[in-house]
Amino acid sequence: MRGSRSVRVACGTLTATLLLTACQLLSSDDGSDGSAPTTARTPPSSLAPVSGIGPLFLAVGECSSFGTISFTEVPCGGERAAARVVARHDGTAAEGPPCPPTTDFVLHIGEQPAETGAGSIPPGYACMRTLQPPHPGDPGAGGGPRTIVGDCVYGAGQGRVRETACDGSGTRTPQYKVTKAVPARANCPPSTALYVQLGGAPNPVGCARPV
């Protein structure tokens, strides 16, 4: 078992904005179409110790346990396994590649000493998918680190929106549903009432209609 690591968790139904996704640190809308500029920010998460068993903590295909205080890398076939790494990147989620669309949550891994004792391993983040349902990152489920086609949102005031379950099982009733992903706002259908930044190429803009 290796030494402790620092990790932050980003997941669930977090603040989004017009042209911004939930659970991500992204640039603000410049209001070029006459709408008010808006911003979104991932709420801070507490640091928690974690430990691993492989050459790289939580490499792609490896699994973690769940816990409210710590996250441990465990064998995927074991009874403690709760989620699998579907993508792993160095740096921060705000600056690096977006996680796959149906990612359930993100583990932000702090800088740590190298196994050899020389230098350090840079900070990074792991995109996680739970081994068993429910999957908050699925379309319309009301959570996950990205807003994707099929997700629903409601107005949270001050030009912001939050993601919520499309079936009404969440604490808030859905008001808009993202029905299409396109390269730019001009490509959205006339029925579009809200533009949502989905992140990632080649279709970063989501077209949402009232529900």
Please tell me whether residue 195 adopts helix, strand or coil conformation.
strand
Q: Hey, CA dihedral for 50, 97, 143, 156, is it positive or negative?
A: positive
Q: Nearest-CA neighbor of 147 among 101, 93, 91?
A: 101
Given pLDDT bands bounded at 50, 70 and 90, which one contains residue 54?
Answer: low
Q: What is the pLDDT of residues 157-198, one digit of tens each?
A: 887 788 999 999 999 999 999 999 999 999 999 999 999 888
Helix, strand, coil shares of the chain, percent, nearest 5, are 0, 35, 65
**Each residue's pLDDT tens digit, 78-129:** 999 999 999 999 998 888 899 999 999 999 887 766 555 555 667 899 999 9
CB 44 within 8 A of CB 37: no
